[in-house]
Amino acid sequence: MALEFLNTGLVPRLPTAVLATGLVMLSALAATCGLILDTIALGRREMKRVAYLNHPAPLRA
């Protein structure tokens, strides 16, 4: 479809082009959200580790 557009300058199946554009936009949005959520989860994991390391070690008898 992209090659045909480049050759003729026309889009013969407009609904297919709109669907393809929507799917590409949706996949880019999902990838961006996934990256943001992964970064947030990593930050929270690190904060838990820092909070854990702030506690003193138990005394041994």
Q: What pLDDT does 14 receive?
A: 84
For residue 30, the model assigns a pLDDT of: 98
The reported pLDDT for the residue numbered 5 is: 77
Q: What is the pLDDT of residue 46?
A: 97
pLDDT of residue 7: 87
Which residue positions in the chain have pLDDT lower than 50? Answer: none
Rounded Cα gap, residues 12 and 34, in angstroms = 34
CA atoms of 6 and 53, how far apart (whole Å): 60
At residue 12, the pLDDT reads 83
* pLDDT score of 37: 98
